[in-house]
Amino acid sequence: MDNQCLVVLSKFSVTARKTIGAVNPAKLVRDSQYAAEVFEQVNEFGDEALILLSLDLQQLLGLLTPTPVEVAPVTQKKYMFGARN
């Protein structure tokens, strides 16, 4: 675990304590079920700053997986505006 992860983990633990109660940082890192429960409680509470902090922490811990975004195909259209001959 790098320094940035430790900083975010400590900020999350302190901020979450104020809203959802005590959070065990060591258990949060080791136990995925506990982490899922804590992050679910954070989402249900609805504090934007805490949710953003939890998303940062989940990303640093590797708990978030990127989902592929489907891009709609671009269709070519004839340009109909502008100077005419």
pLDDT in tens, 3-46: 899 999 999 999 999 888 899 999 999 998 999 999 999 999 88
With a cut of 90, say whether residue 56 has pLDDT above it: yes
Please state, for a pLDDT cut of 70, what percent of the chain lies above it: 94
Task: Confirm whether 48 is domain-assigned.
Answer: yes
Average pLDDT of every residue of the chain: 86
- Say if residues 9 and 57 touch (Cβ distance below 8 Å): yes
Overall number of domains in the chain: 1
pTM of the model: 0.71
pLDDT at 15 (0 to 100): 92
Task: Confirm whether 75 is domain-assigned.
Answer: no
Task: Confirm whether 8 is domain-assigned.
Answer: yes
Distance in angstroms (rounded) separating the CA atoms of residues 22 and 72: 45
What is the average per-residue pLDDT within 61-84?
75
Task: Confirm whether 73 is domain-assigned.
Answer: no
User: Tokens standing for 9?
Assistant: 């983990």
Q: Which residues span the domain enclosing 40? A: 3-61
Task: Confirm whether 56 is domain-assigned.
Answer: yes
Amino acid at 25: P
Task: Confirm whether 20 is domain-assigned.
Answer: yes
Task: Confirm whether 42 is domain-assigned.
Answer: yes
Task: Confirm whether 45 is domain-assigned.
Answer: yes
